[in-house]
Amino acid sequence: MAITSTPITPVLGAYVHGLDLAGITAEQFAQFYPIWQKHHVVVLRDQKLTNAQFERFSAMLGELDPPPNQGAGRKSVPGHPNLYVVSNRKSEQGEPLGALGDGEAQWHTDMSYLERPPFASMLWSVELPSSGGDTWFASMPAALRSMPDHLATRVSHLSIKHDGTYDSGGNVRKGMVANDDPTQSAGTVHPAVIVQPETGEHTLYLGRRRNAWIPGLPVDESDRLLDTIWGYATAEAVTLRHQWKLGDVVLWNNLTTMHRRDAFPPDQIRTLHRSQIKGKYTLSGIIRQEAA
């Protein structure tokens, strides 16, 4: 069967058809990769996988990162240290077996507080609640294109400090100390606009809103400008909502999208296994090509 795709929205996402990830070949991957690069988020449904097969496909995209440090610590899939568990399931002793619980996960870019943030991330649905837990994505290139010229020009000359204190569920990362002064919190400064290195597309790079700060501006002025930017970045016209089905695999470009998760009933279990592709680029080296 030929590999085909169907766009999900005019600016973001595609369903990929005719690809069985359990046995994907190098030739099929070569057909698949440009589809992902074009649409930023791809959804593959009805995938019947083992963890080993999921990890094998993930590794075709690049070197894998180990699980990040969340509020619950680092939660690996047993026997697969490079895969991690996103789940609200707990042990009999009440210990979380996965990360992020059942609450809302706010808009963010994975691990943007690192010097080399992850290049891509992927989720595979294992257990799902009867409702809730939808994942939303936002196109950062489309958000940048939607801005008035004067704002886009201003933003292209700014940087943002990305906080590493809290995870996307609002929990203090294990071993970190709560700090709500963005000028002093642990984090990394990245350009607000980068050039996607494999496509040349200009894109916002925002991370997460909490504790974000534009160096050089007073915090209140920075907050007002960031609120304006986030308004464009999360507008309905640049977002898509993914309603999970068992067997879904969703892959996204971590340099060109943000994502968030809806809460779901705490008495129901939602478990997804996740992989993350290690950062290939220092973002300060892939910006403002037009100024070179």
Which residues, 6 or more positions from 205, have their beta carbon under 8 angstroms from its beta carbon? 109, 112, 140, 160, 190, 191, 192, 193, 194, 255, 283
Separation between Cα atoms, residue 261 and residue 135, nearest integer Å: 4
What is the DSSP code string of 197-247?
A: TTT--EEE----STT-B-TTS-HHHHHHHHHHHHHHHT-GGGEEEE---TT
Joined tokens for residue 89: 């399931």
Per-residue confidence (pLDDT) for residue 79, from 0 to 100: 93
- pLDDT tens digits, 232-269: 999 999 999 999 999 999 999 999 999 999 999 999 99
Neighbours of 24 (CB within 10 A): 18
Domain span holding position 45:
4-291
Per-residue confidence (pLDDT) for residue 168, from 0 to 100: 73
Given a contact cutoff of 8 angstroms between Cβ atoms, the answer to whether 84 and 273 are in contact is: yes
Per-residue confidence (pLDDT) for residue 67, from 0 to 100: 77
∠ Cα 212 214 220 (to 5°): 80
Separation between Cα atoms, residue 215 and residue 222, nearest integer Å: 8
What is the H or E stretch that residue 152 is in? helix 149-155
Separation between Cα atoms, residue 152 and residue 256, nearest integer Å: 16
What is the H or E stretch that residue 51 is in? helix 51-59
Three-state DSSP class for residue 26: helix
CATH code: domain of residue 147: 3.60.130.10
Give the pLDDT of the chain (292 residues) as one tens digit per residue.
789 999 999 999 999 999 999 999 999 999 999 999 999 999 999 999 999 999 999 999 999 998 776 666 678 899 999 999 999 999 988 888 888 889 999 999 999 998 899 999 999 999 999 999 999 999 999 999 999 999 999 999 999 999 888 877 788 887 788 888 889 888 899 999 999 988 999 999 999 999 999 999 999 999 999 999 999 999 999 999 999 999 999 999 999 999 999 999 999 999 999 999 999 887 865 554 433 3
Separation between Cα atoms, residue 183 and residue 218, nearest integer Å: 9
Structural domain count of the chain? 1
Query: Which amino acid does the sequence have at 3?
Result: I
Which residues is 261 bridged to in the sheet? 105, 135
Which residues, 6 or more positions from 94, have their beta carbon under 8 angstroms from its beta carbon? none
Smallest Cα–Cα separation from 39: which of 72, 16, 73?
16
Given a contact cutoff of 8 angstroms between Cβ atoms, the answer to whether 257 and 208 are in contact is: no
Joined tokens for residue 292: 């070179």
Per-residue confidence (pLDDT) for residue 182, from 0 to 100: 86
- Mean pLDDT, the chain, rounded, equals 92
Smallest Cα–Cα separation from 167: which of 121, 92, 99?
99
Query: Which amino acid does the sequence have at 8?
Result: I
